[in-house]
Amino acid sequence: MPKKPRSNACALEQEGVESSHISTSARELLLYVPVVDTTVNAGERRLLILNPVSGSEDHVDTVVELAEDHGFEVRTTEGEGDAKRIARKAAAETDLVAAAGGDGTVNEVVNGMYAADALSTTTVAVVPAGTGNNFATNIGVEGIDHAFDVIRRDRRRTIDLGTAEERAFVNSCVAGVTAEASGATTSSGKRQFGVLAYVFRTIENVRSFDSLPLRVETDAGSESTIPRTDPNAEPRDESVAQTWEGDAAFVLVGNARRFTSARTAQGNAEDGLLEVTVVEDASAVDLLGDAMLEGMFGRDAEHIVRLRASALTIESLDDSPVTYSLDGETLKSERVNLETDCGALRVIVGDGYDPNPDSDEA
């Protein structure tokens, strides 16, 4: 699949202009698409793809009524893969596609547009009607009624898109979550913790991990907290590729999502980087300790390695396929190449979306 064009800010960085040399105000101007406060943009072709069985399944009538009031044609999915198929087929003739459902529905819609090579011409909106709605939360959309208010305000941003083996993800890619844990995770857990609910349930359900022997290798220019085996060694050269190798319990890769004890779970989706957290193999007792759960993804946690990179490879060292969750959608592979497609996805965001959650003001 051809590489999508990068945003202006990412292009500058790619050409050797360091991000620190681009002022915050300049970056805002490079990435920002002006607000248009109208109910329906003149001539804009709008489609809403509705998953009727997401979440509590009581949202259909409300979504259909609001969608029609805001100029959307509504198409309803009937099963897995339908949202992707509808989006792919309609992308070339649609200016704005809204995904009404949970994170899985958003993932399917984006992948349909990605497969149709329509990301540069079509904008995505999210109407949260699922259980967790983590991506909607990360872009400042707080509910169904609020989603249509956000669409009316029409504040658009270009954000990064994660890719794994020609499949896209907007929020996260997680290795190590078991199918049993996914099925046992409660709706309240998903609402509170998002994909981390699956991680916690995996820890709770398994007495001893079938650890994942992995090699994680980033591209040059990445940042890392990989422990240095020789304390007297020269400082690590961050301009070359970084490699972690060992037994992992989980590997969590965030795009619009971060896995830390920070104030907000929203990651920086406009920096061209993926945030990678390797949870090293440890006994279930160690990981389940209260102190470990509370600080599991904090900076000083004993079993945590952090990386930030625009591209990385995760490879199984025992020739067994590893199961990955891409925004809740499953991928199995012995080797996965992940990249960030910088500025590839145009989305409508709410006022709660912070383009730079790592700024001092955040």
Beta-sheet pairing, 212-218 with 243-254: antiparallel
Cβ proximity of 174 and 253 under 8 Å? yes
Three-state SS letters, 306-320: EEEECEEEEEECCCC
> Looking at residue 5, what DSSP letter applies?
P
What's the pLDDT tens digit per position in 210-241? 678 999 999 876 666 565 444 454 444 555 68
Angstrom distance (rounded) from CA 280 to CA 217? 15
The one-character DSSP state at 6 is P
Binned at pLDDT 50, 70 and 90, residue 305 comes out as confident
Task: Write down the mean pLDDT value for the chain.
Answer: 77
Q: What is the pLDDT of residues 62-119, one digit of tens each?
A: 999 999 999 999 999 999 999 999 999 999 999 999 999 999 999 999 999 999 999 9
Query: Distance of CA 189 to CAs 185, 326, 333, Å?
Result: 7, 18, 27
276-305: b (≥16 Cβ within 10 Å) or e: bbbbbbbebeebeeeebeeebbeeebeebb
CA–CA gap between residue 202 and residue 178 (Å, rounded): 6
354 and 360 Cβ atoms separated by less than 8 Å: no
- Structural domain spans, the chain: 34-154, 172-342
pTM for the predicted model, two decimal places: 0.78
Residue 70 and residue 149: Cα distance in Å, rounded? 10
Please tell me whether residue 19 adopts helix, strand or coil conformation: helix
Residue 258's nearest CA partner among 328, 171, 191, 326 is: 171
Q: Lowest mean pLDDT: which of 225-229, 300-304, 335-339, 345-349? A: 225-229
Please name the CATH architecture into which domain 172-342 falls.
Answer: Sandwich (2.60)
Long-range contacts, 188-194 (Cβ 8 Å, 24+)? 190/131, 190/132, 191/131, 191/132, 191/133, 194/103, 194/132, 194/134, 194/257, 194/265
Beta strands 311-316 and 212-218: pairing type? Answer: antiparallel
**Nearest-angstrom CA–CA distance, 31 and 133:** 25
Render pLDDT for 107-137 as a digit per residue (tens, 0 to 9).
Answer: 999 999 999 999 999 999 999 999 878 899 9
Question: DSSP letters of 194-249?
Answer: TTHHHHHHHHHH-SS---EEEEEEEPTT-EE-PPPS-TTSPPP-TTS--EEEEEEE
pLDDT tens-digit series, residues 241-252: 889 999 887 888
Q: Of 3.40.50.720, 1.20.120.80, 3.40.50.10330, 3.20.20.140, which CATH number belongs to 34-154?
A: 3.40.50.10330
